[in-house]
Structure 1
Amino acid sequence: MPERNLVSWNVMLNGYAKGGLVSSAKELFDEMPSKDVISWGTMVNGYVQAGMIREGLMMCREMLRSELRPNDVMLVDLISACVRSTAVVEGQQLHGAIIRRGFDCYNFMQATIIHFYGACGLIDLACLQLNIGFKDHLASINALIAGFARNGMINRAREMFDDMSERDVFSWTAMISGYVQHEQPATALELFHRMIASGSHPNEVTMTSVFSAIATLGSLSEGQWAHKYVVKNAIPISSNLSASIIDMYAKCGSIDSALEVFDRVRDVASDVSPWNAIICGLAMHGHADLSLDLFSDLQRRQIKLNSVTFIGVLTACCHSGLVEEGKRYFRSMKSIYNVEPDVKHYGCMVDMLGRAGRVKEAEELIQGMPMKADVAVWGSLLAACRIHGHVEIGERAAKNMAELEPSHGPCRVMLSNIYADAGRWNDAFLARRALVRHGLERSPGFSGVL
């Protein structure tokens, strides 16, 4: 058998890394008699693609201690990885390495750095990069617009957008997405129609934001038009885009249309997002059995579940009164799927137990939460106390809600109703008087789930 040369070693290394077998790639890397920039770059990229950002950065540091130096592609990959993991210190260290290697003279590198600082909340540093660099570089301006929007500066983003001498699809998408993030769906939709009128062609990322805006507005006719536009213009339907179309139809009240879209992508979806959209949509419409049937189908597939999946599953169990099944799914999140429950999942469980009359168990669950319960969680418990007549637990729930949000009037209204139902008229009067005295507003009731 001929002796392996560096090229053959790198080919084998790339095979392991591309296949997600990072541990095997590292073992092979350690066995290699010599390494070049490609070898190091393959390992760094393997770690980055596997979401092992820290390991990728450590590999880069180890490379810097050798005679080799990272190239521009490797540094861009690492900076982008720092964005995904919000690794601010590491990203700034990489920025220093970029300057030392002279790569900061490349405009594509400038755009990457602006994106990094904007995504990490350091918007002043993002602005500085544009001011000292290529001021007319379109990708850098787009990155700064996205940074403004991400950091709550939507008006600054729009000012920069309006001042642009030229725009591309990414400029329009950044601005439309910004309005969606800032809960201005009507403005996002208006800008989308202006984009089309200008002759610019949206891509799948643009349309994902557009469908999100339409879902918030609940305009089925607008959603149907946008869906036809996607088909007519042969815009590639990614998993995220199909999920946003499914979600739009569900939130606009057309669950049958949502199911039709899902059935077309069911066997070709590359990730869990379309499944999440239909499972949550069916649960929201009260079709718990079908929602859970689809979840069972999903479990048999080689698709990684995430936290959103279980929001839909727990909601379905909640609406159908399947408490024991819901508890089993909740326990399986960490033990089987390595998904850490967050406050929303606990909120689903509290709502589920509360609706079933297991109010004491719901309070005990809150007391054992690894994070602080929010207003929605306590609100679900308080609502359950009203339904099932648990005065003392209701008092504690209302007290915790008031501590979290002193101006929250509905909790005092509900507590007053609990007192009235129990015949404690004086306490009911005092709770109502506190509402008036503090000038608190009554707002619509809510469930802490969907």
Structure 2
Amino acid sequence: MGADIVVCNSIVGLYARCGSLEHSRTLFDEMPEKDGVTYNTMISGYMAYGFINQAMELFHQVPNPVLSTWNAVIGGLVQNNSFHHVLDLFQAMQNAGFRPNSVTISCVLPAISSHSSLLTVKQIHSYAVRNGCDRNVYVATALIDAYGKTGFLDGARRVFDASGAGSTSVIIWTAIISACSIRGNSDSAVSIFRRMVGRGIEPDPVTFTAVLSACAHSGEVDEARRILNVSMPEFRVSPEAEQYACVVGALSRKGMLSEAVELIDRMPFPPNSKAWGALLNGAAVHRDVAIGEHAFERLLEIEAENSGNYIVMANLYSQAGKWKEAQMVRKKMEEVGVGKVAGCSWIEGNGRLQVFISSDMANEHSRQAFELIDELVGLMREEGYTFAAKEELDEECCCC
């Protein structure tokens, strides 16, 4: 039976799913005959474990790739956050004469939303409508997610109302809750969550994370507690670190820092960086140096390479007038070899994405932008706003 292509494909897939990629590739190379399934299986196996280069090398060896092969590669790239390559491959697929189907569209949309290109999302949506696949649950879910991430919440709601409001699929309800959460609309997120539960649709852990994230963004402490202590046990979902971190975030944003520390201490497993990060940010907002130091020490143990933690702590010290301590944090950051990630903002206009990076003078409009910032800072000072130190302004400023 060794030469039977169906049997060989199954074994190649078995090895790949078990993570034995060497065995999978050995059998793949020895097969006297290969079809589209063979290549798709091997490519997906590489992509599942992050071996993008090997997967792409294999893809370029496919004699006559079919649509499913293109979809496997595009889906794998999205899975590995290689969004730039996705758009290039999507264009190459169309140039090769293939028409995107619902699988292609649902895979490509996350890559487009990562670039905040609302116009392109609308174009993909229009294509989906013209080709009758906009009601596909996976396409609709991807569209809701993409519209939410590009800031067009009305678009996300329209897609949901057209194809998801009557659906029993938990993923499409979770998508619209997440879209509301991303835009900071906690009232809508909680309201949709309640509608979902009222229709007998059981939320999963991802749904709970989405609605709790909305509570964290707005400091909805009571609702966050109710969901954690009542709703999750009701649906037999055990809270995980992600959900606890959201509740810590809600408490911290509200200034209930002691309660946030108590919740972290009661967690049945070691708290992750998101929980400590939420506490540190809350301490910075409410200028609680002691709790900030406590959270910062824990974060150094978990993610010493995260530059954001150092900057928040240094600024907290600066706000408290502890210049020596602030300088020590910045010095430690240099000793560890952590560099501050340059602030970046972008806006879509004139048919393309305009990107601005902090302190970058390469853009032709940089000088005018910096002059405008100086004017704005001057106006803020006239209105009574003060800055603890020049360093704080420099590190907090992300635009140019």
Which TM-score applies when normalising by structure 1? 0.72
Give the structure with higher Rg (CA): 1
Whole-angstrom CA distance in 2 between matches of 1:401 and 1:190: 38
Counterpart for residue 376 of structure 1: 274
Summarize the alignment of residues 240-279 of structure 1 with structure 2, pairs less than 5 Å apart: 240-279=138-177
Counterpart for residue 133 of structure 1: 31
1:117 CA displacement = 2.5
CA RMSD of aligned residues (A): 2.2
Q: Among 229, 232, 235, which residue is 2:133 paired with?
A: 235
- The answer for unaligned runs of 5 or more in structure 2 is 344-394
Moved more, 293-302 or 192-201: 192-201
Whole-angstrom CA distance in 1 between matches of 2:211 and 2:105: 27
Tell me if structure 1 keeps the 8 A contact 2:135–2:163. Answer: no
Aligned to 2:129, the other structure's residue is in SS state: helix
Aligned to 1:347, the other structure's residue is in SS state: helix
Answer yes or no: is 1:440 the counterpart of 2:345: no
1:424 CA displacement = 3.1
Tell me if structure 1 keeps the 8 A contact 2:125–2:134. Answer: no
Whole-angstrom CA distance in 2 between matches of 1:372 and 1:326: 20
- The answer for unaligned runs of 5 or more in structure 1 is 1-101
Counterpart for residue 224 of structure 1: 122
Which TM-score applies when normalising by structure 2? 0.80
Answer yes or no: is 1:199 the counterpart of 2:100: no
Whole-angstrom CA distance in 1 between matches of 2:210 and 2:306: 28
Counterpart for residue 210 of structure 1: 108
Q: Among 64, 83, 105, which residue is 1:185 paired with?
A: 83
Q: Among 307, 313, 337, which residue is 2:205 paired with?
A: 307
Aligned to 1:163, the other structure's residue is in SS state: coil
Deviation by residue 1:27-62 (Cα, 9 ceiling, x = unmatched): xxxxxxxxxxxxxxxxxxxxxxxxxxxxxxxxxxxx
Counterpart for residue 358 of structure 2: none
Aligned to 2:312, the other structure's residue is in SS state: helix
Counterpart for residue 394 of structure 1: 292
Answer yes or no: is 1:353 the counterpart of 2:256: no
Tell me if structure 1 keeps the 8 A contact 2:308–2:340. Answer: yes
Aligned to 2:305, the other structure's residue is in SS state: coil
Whole-angstrom CA distance in 2 between matches of 1:217 and 1:433: 34
Higher relative contact order (CA 8 A, sep 6+): 2
Q: Among 269, 275, 298, which residue is 2:196 paired with?
A: 298
Whole-angstrom CA distance in 1 between matches of 2:206 and 2:12: 30
Give the residue type in structure 2 aligned to 1:275: W
Summarize the alignment of residues 16-415 of structure 1 with structure 2, pairs less than 5 Å apart: 106-235=4-133, 237-415=135-313
Number of residue pairs matched by the alignment: 344
Tell me if structure 1 keeps the 8 A contact 2:287–2:319. Answer: yes
Q: Which 4+ runs in 1 deviate beyond 4 A?
A: none
Give the residue type in structure 2 aligned to 1:386: A
Whole-angstrom CA distance in 2 between matches of 1:203 and 1:111: 25
Whole-angstrom CA distance in 1 between matches of 2:4 and 2:44: 20
1:412 CA displacement = 2.5
Whole-angstrom CA distance in 2 between matches of 1:186 and 1:368: 42
Give the residue type in structure 2 aligned to 1:283: S
Whole-angstrom CA distance in 2 between matches of 1:137 and 1:402: 50
1:130 CA displacement = 1.6
1:226 CA displacement = 1.0
Mark the CA change 1:349 to 1:134 in structure 2 (over 3 Å): closer, same or farther: farther
Mark the CA change 1:267 to 1:405 in structure 2 (over 3 Å): closer, same or farther: closer
Whole-angstrom CA distance in 2 between matches of 1:310 and 1:437: 40
Larger proportion of helix: 1
1:309 CA displacement = 1.0
